[in-house]
Chain A
């Protein structure tokens, strides 16, 4: 068990180092920082001075080590486009993305689980067939289109909800939240539905297939034989046992939600990290790209690590298999 945890931790560190190396290469080789920071009329002596000041004359591994130390301190330099420290920009934008992702995940669970249970219990009803077909269409639908159609209907034609921005936000220390104002709640509805659409279909299909599986097991048959009510069987025995895979998949999807927030944020001009990243790509703003890459890499690595470890904690059978595989 300890060996397994250590192996996974070591793997995670290696992945982060690779991500860091890509970010570092982006930073130092792709964009020429000297040319970016000096005015065009600078002399060769100025360039050399700048190179020495930035440490570009030092060996590669030395520079990489400095980059890692800086990155660990959250120091990614200054945005070329906005002229402000990248860490400040990211911290400013982080709450918007996390709140959006959180609400989208909640929508995924709150809508997906009941729909999954319903389609499993009423397998042959036309509502179930319709829902399954709709979820297939939903997978083929790029989520920026869902956003555009929602804007068209609810913002342009009906005029009920705002189509861009976060509404009024309240600052709590460094964190800004839209959860405390009416306009903040109104603003988050459309983007959260857009972002939550895909998780709803995933959770629904997953819960459905797991429920169908569980309903066939002996202990459910036994529960029926004991004369328990359908309600108790479905929700107490069956649904409970579908939750492990659902939690895992939702956990793994969380990273995907944060990544797909890039698109949703662009559609709704939501002032989060994703929008910042897209604008950084358009303007070749390398420090922001490097920082975003490291941050998202970290989020993904941590999520994968936690899910892997939780698996082992939740399901004792895996402990033996993993321990055997580790040897």
Chain B
């Protein structure tokens, strides 16, 4: 398996693109740091007992009044910015990946049904997709998020906010999967193996998921990689606008929002470092996604 991978065209094109290798390293390091955040982070920004208000607003370590225990400085409550970034990217990645997977599952299912069943179902799903495509994703996400907040006003908790934001981002991104999968399904459903499965009397749902789906998944993988970066940005925007992840479990967007209040008193590090972390993470994911799209597209070889 490993030898096969090392010999493959994909790995060759990977090895010969230093930018892509760098991006992959950044993504792997970020994901590992996010998974093992409690062990990796130098401090625990959520453990109130270890916070020391006397250390609040310490600038980064290399500035004259910096403190070496806090490499990137601290915020107004004495939380270590570096640790907050590690925990924040954990939240950003979690929401981004969950939202992407939910969007993929929804979009792929609707696309399969649309393409395989056809007729009025197809027309309905595709009309909804058309209408949604006319509006920018961020507007849809904001709207779903806003409606959920109003509808669940009485019992809106921090835990619920997380689900709401995942659903909001997924709702704004399922169309691309539905369209792609519908296209492949329309081609596949008239192939002989599908007809054969139908003749021996397999259930349509089984045919859709075990026969058609595996043959329609290739382009979906590329969409997923490119979508994760976008989902992370959407989450950051919602959190920045104050309608995203709650401040008790901050994501990178929440950290930027919090830091934004300190911009004018000169404490730039509280917002600049989480911002830089967000840009680097999303850029690395996008570079990987672009590479994967080009590498898997035989026409561009």
Contacts and interface: CB of A to CB of B under 8 A. Distances in A.
Contact of A262 (B142, B263, B264, B271): B142
Interface of A is mostly: helix
Contacts of A289: 143, 146-147, 150
Interface stretch (A145-153, A213-221, A235-243): A145-153
Contacts of A149: 272, 275
B150 A286 contact: yes
A156 B264 contact: yes
B237 interface: yes
Contact of A145 (B138, B139, B243, B256): B256
B84 to A, nearest CB: 17
Interface string A270-295: 00000001101110101001000100
Contacts of A148: 256, 260, 263, 271, 275
B282 interface: yes
Interface of B is mostly: helix
A18 B131 contact: yes
Contacts of A163: 264
Interface residues of B, number: 37
Contacts of A26: 147, 150
B124 interface: no
Contact of A282 (B243, B266, B272): B243
B153 interface: yes
Contact of A281 (B136, B145, B256): B145
Nearest to B276: A145
B282 A300 contact: no
Nearest to B257: A144
Interface string A297-324: 1001100100000000000000000000
Interface string A230-255: 00000000000000000000000001
A286 B275 CA distance: 32
A156 B240 CA distance: 20
10 contacts: A30-B150, A136-B286, A142-B233, A148-B256, A156-B264, A156-B266, A262-B142, A281-B142, A284-B149, A289-B150
Give 10 nearest A-B pairs by CB, closest first.
A281-B146, A140-B283, A259-B136, A284-B150, A259-B139, A142-B233, A145-B275, A30-B151, A140-B282, A256-B136
